[in-house]
Chain A
Amino acid sequence: MYPTNIKMKKKDKRKVAKAVRGAIKAGIKENIKLFLNTKKFGRIILAKLHI
């Protein structure tokens, strides 16, 4: 009833991998920010160095 064994095109694979990498990077960045925000010194660093 449904097609099986659908192969993803190489181009699409790259796109997915790029999106995953981006999400991981953003996640790490966000988590570091959240962690720093819980510490007084961290908050000062974030405020002073925000770009």
Chain B
Amino acid sequence: MKKKIIKRAYWRKLDDQAKVFTLASNKKYSSIYRLSVLLKENIDKELLQKATELAISKYRAYKVKLKSGLFWYYFEENELLPVVSEEVDYPFKKINDKANNEYLFKVTYFHKKINLEVFHALTDGNGAILFLNEIVYRYLEMKYPNEIPEHKKEFRRMSEDTEDAYKKSYVKKRVKTKKIKKAYMLQGEELDKGEYGITHNIINLKELKEYARSIECSLSEYLVALIAYSIYETNYRIYNGKRPINISVPINLKKYIKTETISNFFSYMQVSIALKEKKVYTFDDVLILVKKEFEKKLILDKILSTITKDAGSTNNIFVRIVPLVLKKLAFRIGSMQVKRKFTTSFSNVGIVSVEDEYKPHVDGYFVILSPDWAEKIKCGIVSYENDIVVTFSTILKDNLVENKFKELLKERNISVRIEGNDLVDVSN
């Protein structure tokens, strides 16, 4: 007798951080980021479409669309396939539209580059890198079928776990932290709506690491100090800033707490650089302040307290029983207040590793974060092989901060190469 196959549409709850992203997102603040990979040959659209389809059949956790319930949004299985298209516009356009079959990610290509734009509710940078690499692996396997051994194609390790890792990480006793003050907001003429200036600083990783070691600080501390000082010199001093320069530094919790989840699992640390009005600061002064902040705040207990306070707020019974419409309104107002507490974001995805057989075809990676009305410049960082790429995305017309950052590196004899889109001047 033939067994009747019951086709079950799959749905799942959002993780706690995703709940915050879906509730707080609006036209002005979209929480989208872009990961790009640069290959050595021009992209074949048909192969990329097939590769994306194969990758999504493996990463079923991402084969979803966002639906609204009475109290929360939720993910529902998407029975359609994602649509690959050529990049024709600036990044961070609406992601889950009909043309993309309502997926929460978008795959585009341009010449040798494959872009994966992701709505943060779906996953963090870590999960997105795994998915992007799966697309790249599938693409290269079809493009060069004789170069990749069969066993590499079949037994690639992956996780399908979508557990809400936040739930097991909340702490009962929160470490008391200082209330975050409103931050200095970057000033200057803005680009037209929907336009973003993108600058990639491609830096020699070894030289940068050695330099940071020579002045006894970590790579992150050094880069944060460079960004803070660039802001101070080119914007803060000119516009007579009074509030502290606050930099949000996301932290990958998967490094600290064991989990196999491919959903969101990160927190953030706020590096606050309080500057006295009449004093003129040098780079070394700023570096000392940044190092102190890292020492004080990069402590697991404090980070867990932050997630208990932020993402954990969605577990409060009084929050849970409020209908979605009202919740959205409240979270949007709340997020506006939170956003005022940060000058910029510095997100380091870390080192991307690619399997040896695929390496000859991969040239590099980029991470771009979407800037908004509060954080007018954002900074995404990723390392691959010998390079670390620091990408600034901005809605400001001038590129003074980016240029200062580059100058500071050059003054220290660190090799840096600049690339960018049509809205930035990369000539000098």
Q: Tell me the smallest distance from the CB of B343 to a CB of chain A, in Å.
A: 37
User: Taking the complex as formed, is B59 at the interface, i.e. its CB lies under 8 A from any CB of chain A?
Assistant: no
In whole angstroms, what is the CA distance A37 to B9 when docked? 10
In whole angstroms, what is the CA distance A50 to B320 when docked? 9
Interface string of B1-28 (1 = CB under 8 A from A): 0000010110101000000000000000
Q: Is the interface of A mostly helix, strand, loop or mixed?
A: helix
User: Taking the complex as formed, is A1 at the interface, i.e. its CB lies under 8 A from any CB of chain B?
Assistant: no
A47–B71 CB distance below 8 A:
no
A positions within 8 Å CB-CB of B: 37-38, 40, 43, 46-51
A49–B71 CB distance below 8 A:
yes
Pick the residue among A37, A40, A50 that contacts B71 (CB under 8 A).
A50
A-B contact pairs, 24 of them (CB 8 A): A37-B8, A38-B6, A40-B9, A43-B8, A43-B9, A43-B11, A46-B11, A47-B11, A47-B67, A47-B69, A47-B74, A47-B76, A48-B69, A48-B70, A49-B69, A49-B70, A49-B71, A50-B13, A50-B71, A50-B72, A50-B74, A51-B71, A51-B72, A51-B320
List of B residues within 8 angstroms of A38 by Cβ = 6
In whole angstroms, what is the CA distance A51 to B72 when docked? 7
List of A residues within 8 angstroms of B74 by Cβ = 47, 50
List of B residues within 8 angstroms of A40 by Cβ = 9
User: Taking the complex as formed, is B352 at the interface, i.e. its CB lies under 8 A from any CB of chain A?
Assistant: no
For residues 51 through 108 of chain B, which have their beta carbon under 8 Å from a beta carbon of chain A?
67, 69-72, 74, 76
Interface string of B310-338 (1 = CB under 8 A from A): 00000000001100000000000000000
In whole angstroms, what is the CA distance A35 to B172 when docked? 34
Taking each of B6, B8, B9, B69, which has the highest tally of chain A beta carbons within 10 Å of its own beta carbon?
B69
A51–B321 CB distance below 8 A:
yes
In whole angstroms, what is the CA distance A50 to B11 when docked? 11
In whole angstroms, what is the CA distance A46 to B10 when docked? 11
In whole angstroms, what is the CA distance A3 to B30 when docked? 69
Q: Tell me the smallest distance from the CB of A51 to a CB of chain B, in Å.
A: 5
Q: Tell me the smallest distance from the CB of B243 to a CB of chain A, in Å.
A: 39
- Which 6 A/B pairs are nearest by Cβ-Cβ distance? A47-B11, A48-B69, A51-B71, A47-B74, A51-B320, A49-B70
List of B residues within 8 angstroms of A48 by Cβ = 69-70
Q: Tell me the smallest distance from the CB of A35 to a CB of chain B, in Å.
A: 13
Complex: chain B residue closest to A47, CB-CB: B11
In whole angstroms, what is the CA distance A38 to B9 when docked? 10
List of B residues within 8 angstroms of A51 by Cβ = 71-72, 320-321
